[in-house]
């Protein structure tokens, strides 16, 4: 996809939250009865979770902007459970499979097959689950016994918060109280808070310490409910950044009370000099001169690609910290972003989990997102203010989280065109 320098103006609605759609699907599947999930995000990742749940015997039907989920007893799948490139699907469903009678084989695509899963396997073994990974990564084999033993679990919190969320989702299905102790400071705490919020909506209570290092979960039953998915701050961040860089953009369907980690984009834009304005559930970002920032992204690592691009167009230097886990996303996001920004003439230095960007005027180039949806969207936004054309290869990888990205981008006035590689 080719992007030419453009001034944007207009309004779009945020897609629904990918993270909360995953959680609502699983809570619905574990509840005995019919749940209605309103405004779910239908994307590659969420469809992977729905596909795996269907193979485990869950009836999920799509009815005019609504997913109707008939949950209850899960059954052995009879064939492998393909999780696509969704780390959330793989990790959450590995835990769910521990409650299923029989053997489950969970596999994934090329990128997912390199992402760590062993800490979750070890924590499940502490609860008596027979499971294994392939040298710490997928594929995963879980041999369930039709139930889950309760007990005490110790797990690291600095590899992926999805491990803790996975344990929390299945802990209520145990035969007593489950105590989860996080042995290192928990990163991406807001994602665990989202899991607890989803569980509460489906009738499950989780007792958490203030620092989210200790959790207690009694044996409980999920209850079917009607659940509406809120707008996605992770996706909205790209459109807000496009307004901050290249015009005036309003994003609707967002909650000011959201617990999503990537609502942090509001504070980041504010620190860079952007004054956001609200009207109901819509927020507007308008172009102004950006200034560099020094920011820790430990709790919102998915913002790294777009914040890096904002720093590339800002005055002065930006320093981004807390990036260690980004090497284990859909791509090595640190290496991928650094190499692409260098192609665009941006001065970037990387040391450990710190990246330093010297702002200025990027130049157009052919950039490769390495199949990573967030990198593709971030580089497209930066292309709006680059000197010359920017060509984003494998542009359709955005379907992983924001299938309508290019349509929304063009509706705001972005000048785009197809590349020969598409």
Check the CA dihedral 271-275-278-284 and report its sign.
Answer: negative
Pairing between β-strand 247-252 and β-strand 214-217 as defined by DSSP bridges: unpaired
Q: What is the pLDDT of residue 327?
A: 61
Domain 18-217 in the same topology as domain 2-15+230-417: yes
**Averaged pLDDT, groups of 10, the chain, 422 residues long:** 96 97 98 97 96 96 92 90 96 96 94 91 95 93 89 92 96 96 91 97 97 96 97 97 97 95 96 96 96 94 96 97 70 87 96 92 96 95 97 95 96 82 48
| In contact, 329 and 352? CB cutoff 8 Å | no
Q: How far apart are CA 412 and CA 33, in angstroms?
A: 42
Rg (CA), the chain: 21
pLDDT digits (tens, 9 = 90+) for 22-34: 999 999 999 999 9
Q: Which CATH number applies to 2-15+230-417?
A: 3.65.10.10
Q: Which residues contact 197 (CB under 8 A, 6 or more apart)?
A: 259
Sheet holding 101-107, edge to edge: 81-82, 101-107, 137-145, 130-134
Sheet holding 59-62, edge to edge: 59-62, 66-71, 33-38, 226-228
- Helix, strand, or coil (residue 105): strand
Q: How far apart are CA 153 and CA 214, in angstroms?
A: 10
pTM of the model: 0.92
Q: Where are the domains of the chain?
A: 2-15+230-417, 18-217
Which CATH number fits the domain 18-217, given the four candidates 3.65.10.10, 3.40.50.150, 3.40.50.300, 3.30.1050.10? 3.65.10.10
Q: How far apart are CA 413 and CA 92, in angstroms?
A: 39
Q: How far apart are CA 314 and CA 288, in angstroms?
A: 10
Catalytic residue among 44, 45, 262, 302: 302
pLDDT digits (tens, 9 = 90+) for 278-308: 999 999 999 999 999 999 998 899 999 999 9
Note if 332 is an active site residue.
Answer: no
């Amino acid at each position: 996809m080719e992007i030419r320098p453009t001034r944007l103006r207009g309004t779009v609605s945020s897609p629904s939250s990918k993270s909360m759609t995953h959680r609502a699907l699983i809570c619905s599947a574990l509840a005995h009865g019919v749940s209605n999930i309103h405004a779910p995000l239908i994307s590659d990742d969420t469809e992977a979770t729905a596909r795996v749940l269907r193979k485990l015997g869950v009836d999920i039907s799509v009815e005019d902007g609504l997913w109707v989920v008939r949950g209850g007893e899960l059954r052995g799948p009879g064939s492998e459970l393909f999780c696509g490139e969704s780390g959330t699907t793989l990790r959450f469903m590995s835990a769910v499979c521990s409650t299923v009678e029989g053997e489950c084989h969970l596999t994934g695509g090329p990128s997912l097959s390199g992402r760590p899963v062993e800490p979750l396997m070890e924590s499940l073994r502490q609860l008596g689950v027979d499971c294994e990974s392939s040298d710490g990564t997928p594929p995963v084999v879980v041999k369930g016994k039709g139930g889950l033993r309760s007990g005490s679990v110790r797990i690291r919190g600095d590899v992926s918060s999805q491990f803790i969320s996975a344990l929390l989702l299945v802990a209520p299905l145990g035969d007593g109280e489950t105590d989860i102790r996080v042995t290192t400071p928990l990163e991406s705490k807001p994602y665990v808070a989202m899991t607890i919020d989803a569980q509460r909506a489906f009738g499950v209570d989780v007792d958490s310490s203030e620092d989210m290092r200790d959790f207690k979960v009694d044996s409980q039953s999920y209850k079917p409910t009607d659940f509406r998915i809120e707008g996605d701050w992770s996706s909205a961040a790209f459109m807000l950044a496009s307004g901050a860089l290249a015009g005036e953009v309003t994003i609707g369907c967002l909650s000011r009370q959201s617990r999503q980690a990537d609502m942090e984009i509001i504070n980041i834009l504010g620190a860079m000099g952007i004054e956001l304005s609200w009207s109901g559930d819509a927020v507007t970002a308008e172009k102004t001169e950006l200034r560099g920032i020094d920011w820790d992204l430990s709790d919102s690592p998915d913002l790294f690609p777009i914040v890096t691009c904002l720093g590339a167009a800002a005055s002065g230097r930006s320093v981004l910290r807390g990036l260690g886990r980004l090497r284990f996303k859909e791509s090595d996001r640190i290496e991928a972003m650094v190499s692409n920004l260098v192609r665009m003439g941006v001065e970037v230095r990387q040391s450990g989990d710190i990246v330093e960007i010297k702002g200025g005027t990027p130049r157009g180039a052919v950039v490769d997102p390495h199949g990573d949806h967030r990198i593709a969207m971030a580089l497209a936004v930066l292309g709006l203010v680059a000197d010359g054309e920017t060509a984003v290869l494998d542009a359709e990888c955005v379907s992983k989280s924001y299938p309508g990205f290019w349509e929304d981008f063009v509706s705001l006035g972005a000048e785009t065109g197809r590349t020969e590689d598409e």
